[in-house]
Amino acid sequence: MVSICLIIGGIWIGNNVNLLPIVASSNAPVYDELFKVLFTIGTILFVGMTGLVIYSLIKFRSKPGELEDGIAIEGNLSLEILWTAVPAIVILFVGLYSYDIYDRMGGMQPLEVHHHEQHLMKGSERIWGGIGSSSTIEASNQFTAALPIELTAMQFAFIFHYPKGDITSGELHVPIDQPVNLTMESKDVIHAFWVPEFRLKQDVIPGQPTILSFTPTRIGRYPIICAELCGPYHGGMRATVVVEKTEDYQQWFNQNAKLIDIEA
């Protein structure tokens, strides 16, 4: 009965107690599935083990006047199998489920696939580099392929470059509901690109480009945090990702883009 109540309580807490920030990308709900499962398992184990320790302290405490040692108990094969099998099953389940979540978020996609997708995106890049007319914006909404952006990380800043438009910015501007391919490389040490509201974190490695794909789904400004200790000013290495309506993004793009030959 106690075990059933513990399991039901853990499942309820895992599904009703939200410790995460708002959801702002299509990746976030997938990650939140894993978090709920881990939170449920962690709650069951924490409450169960804490309750067992408290019960043991009360039940098996020494009585007044008892000075001798307790009964030596050893060689309980059933108990040893139980405390080995249960953690092994839990860890195996968590590992397989985590792998599935990682794969669903695109973590197993080879780097070459991203480069091929970017090559196929030349037509849509021309549209994003357009003059900003209503017909241009309407046409751009029909594309679902990723918008390519380059990130350079260095002590202690993130610099974003938009190849089409030749824009260099300290802020990451992206249109809502538009897939983005972020190609990242560090100029010095290992950094990390982390946006909690997107549920995304990717190391940025010197000499080894890495790719991060995401689709923003909520308009707003969200912090970009370096999550790898990269030097004495690591705590101040932050930037902002600005998720905008398509029209607002196009306006920002046109205001900052250099003169472009759209037909090039």
What SS3 state is found at 230?
A: coil
Here the CATH number for the domain that contains residue 223 is 2.60.40.420
Are 151 and 239 part of one and the same domain? yes
What are the pLDDT digits (tens) for 79-109?
889 889 988 999 999 999 888 888 877 665 6
What SS3 state is found at 14?
A: helix
Quick one: what percent of the chain has pLDDT higher than 70? 83
pLDDT of residue 36 exceeding 50 = yes
pLDDT of residue 176 exceeding 50 = yes
What are the pLDDT digits (tens) for 223-253?
999 999 999 999 999 999 999 999 999 999 9
Q: Angle at the Cα of 223 (from 106 to 188), degrees rounded to 5?
A: 75
Are 100 and 209 part of one and the same domain? no
Measured between alpha carbons, how far is 188 from 204 in angstroms, rounded to an integer? 10
Task: Identify the residue whose tokens are 């705590």.
Answer: 235
User: Is residue 261 a contact partner of residue 236, using CB atoms and an 8 Å limit?
Assistant: no
Query: What average pLDDT score do residues 136-160 get?
Result: 74
pTM of structure? 0.72
Q: pLDDT class for 129, splitting at 50, 70, 90?
A: very low
| pLDDT, position 110 | 55
Are 145 and 237 part of one and the same domain? yes
Query: What average pLDDT score do residues 48-53 get?
Result: 92
Contacts of 95 (CB under 8 A, 6+ apart): none
What SS3 state is found at 244?
A: strand
Are 224 and 154 part of one and the same domain? yes
For 170, counting Cβ atoms within 10 Å of its Cβ (0-12 exposed, 13-18 middle, 19+ buried), the class is exposed
- Nearest CA to 3 out of 76, 60, 52, 58 is that of 52
Which residues form the domain of 205?
Answer: 112-256
Are 52 and 178 part of one and the same domain? no
User: Is residue 180 a contact partner of residue 213, using CB atoms and an 8 Å limit?
Assistant: yes
> Residue 41 CA to chain centroid, in angstroms?
20
User: Is residue 148 a contact partner of residue 125, using CB atoms and an 8 Å limit?
Assistant: yes
Structure tokens at 109: 């996609």
Query: What average pLDDT score do residues 48-57 get?
Result: 92
User: Is residue 246 a contact partner of residue 173, using CB atoms and an 8 Å limit?
Assistant: no
The alpha helices in 60-153, defined as continuous H runs, are 77-104, 111-120, 122-128, 134-140
Structure tokens at 80: 């040893």
Task: Report the chain's mean pLDDT, rounded to a whole number.
Answer: 83
Measured between alpha carbons, how far is 1 from 164 in angstroms, rounded to an integer? 63
Are 136 and 53 part of one and the same domain? no
Structure tokens at 264: 């090039």
Amino acid at site 120: L
Are 47 and 91 part of one and the same domain? yes
Are 238 and 117 part of one and the same domain? yes
Question: What pairs with residue 202 in β-bridges?
Answer: 193
Are 138 and 49 part of one and the same domain? no
